[in-house]
Structure 1
Amino acid sequence: YSTDAKGEFAEVWRYDLTTGEHSPALKDEWDVSFIYFSKSGRYQVSGVNADASTKVSIIDTTTGKAIAMPSLPAGNLRGVNFSADEKTMAFYLNSDTSPSNLFVWQLGESKAKQLTNTLSDAIDQNDLVESTIVRFKSFDGLEIPGVLYKPKQANSNNKVPALVWVHGGPGGQSRTGYSAMQQHLVNHGYAIFAVNNRGSSGYGKTFFHLDDKKHGTDDLQDIVYGKKHLQSLDWVDADKIGIMGGSYGGFMTAAALAFEPEEFKVGINIFGVTNWVRTLNSIPPWWESFKKALYDEMGDPATDGERHRAISPLFHAKNITKPLMVIQGANDPRVLQVESDELVAAVKANGVPVEYVLFDDEGHGFTKKENRIKASNAYLEFLNTYLDK
Structure 2
Amino acid sequence: MDATTRPDGGIWALWSSAAQPPAVRDLEGNVVLTPPGEPAPPSVAVEDIWVEGPGGRIHSLLRRPLSSEGPVPLIIDIHGGPTAHDADLFRAYPSAWVDHGYAVLQVNYRGSTGYGSQWRDALEQRVGHIELEDVVAVRDHLVEAQIVAADKVVLAGASWGGYLTLLGLGLYPDRWAVGVAGVPVADYLAAYEDEMEALKAFDRSLFGGSPDEVPQKYRDSSPITYAEAVQAPVLILAGENDPRCPIRQIENYVAVLAERGAEHEVYRYDAGHGSLVDDERVRQVRAEIDFATRHLNGR
Partner of residue 88 from structure 2, selected from 167, 176, 179: 176
| Structure 1 residues without counterparts, runs of 5 or longer | 1-76
Aligned to 1:81: 4
Aligned to 1:15: none
Aligned to 2:168: 256
Greater helix fraction, Structure 1 or Structure 2? 2
Corresponding residue SS for 2:73: strand
Query: Percent identity among equivalent residues?
Result: 25
- The answer to whether the Cα contact below 8 Å between 1:321 and 1:350 also exists between their aligned partners in 2 is no
- The answer to whether the Cα contact below 8 Å between 2:19 and 2:46 also exists between their aligned partners in 1 is no
2: CA distance between counterparts of 1:111 and 1:316? Answer: 50
- Map 1:85-104 → 2, pairs under 5 A: 86-104=8-26
Aligned to 1:313: 223
- Map 1:174-253 → 2, pairs under 5 A: 174-253=86-165
> Cα offset for 1:209?
1.0
Partner of residue 284 from structure 2, selected from 375, 378, 381: 375
Query: Are 1:148 and 2:66 an aligned pair?
Result: no
> Cα offset for 1:114?
2.4
For residues 307-327 of structure 1, the C-alpha deviation after alignment (integer angstroms, 9 at most, x for no partner) is: 201221123322212100001
Query: Are 1:296 and 2:205 an aligned pair?
Result: yes
Q: What value does the CA root-mean-square deviation take over the aligned residues?
A: 2.1
The amino acid of 2:15's aligned partner reads: L
Corresponding residue SS for 2:152: strand
1: CA distance between counterparts of 2:292 and 2:68? Answer: 17
- Map 1:38-187 → 2, pairs under 5 A: 77-78=1-2, 80-84=3-7, 86-104=8-26, 112-117=30-35, 120-121=38-39, 124-125=41-42, 128-138=43-53, 140=54, 142-156=56-70, 159-187=71-99
**Structure of higher RCO (CA pairs closer than 8 Å, 6+ residues apart):** 2
What is the count of residue pairs matched by the alignment? Answer: 297
Corresponding residue SS for 1:193: strand
1: CA distance between counterparts of 2:204 and 2:118? Answer: 18
Bigger Cα Rg: 1
Aligned to 1:366: 275
Corresponding residue SS for 1:224: helix
Structure 2 CA distance for partners of 1:339 and 1:292, relative to 1, 3 Å: closer
> Cα offset for 1:298?
2.9
- Map 1:282-361 → 2, pairs under 5 A: 282-285=194-197, 287=198, 292-301=201-210, 302-360=212-270
> Cα offset for 1:119?
8.1
- The answer to whether the Cα contact below 8 Å between 1:216 and 1:252 also exists between their aligned partners in 2 is yes
The amino acid of 1:148's aligned partner reads: L
Aligned to 1:275: 187
Greater strand fraction, Structure 1 or Structure 2? 1
2: CA distance between counterparts of 1:255 and 1:304? Answer: 19
| Structure 2 residues without counterparts, runs of 5 or longer | none
Structure 2 CA distance for partners of 1:350 and 1:329, relative to 1, 3 Å: same
Corresponding residue SS for 2:155: strand
For residues 145-188 of structure 1, the C-alpha deviation after alignment (integer angstroms, 9 at most, x for no partner) is: 111111111122xx311122211112221222111111000111
TM-score after normalising by structure 2? 0.91
2: CA distance between counterparts of 1:347 and 1:120? Answer: 43
- The answer to whether the Cα contact below 8 Å between 1:101 and 1:118 also exists between their aligned partners in 2 is no
> Cα offset for 1:279?
2.7
TM-score after normalising by structure 1? 0.71
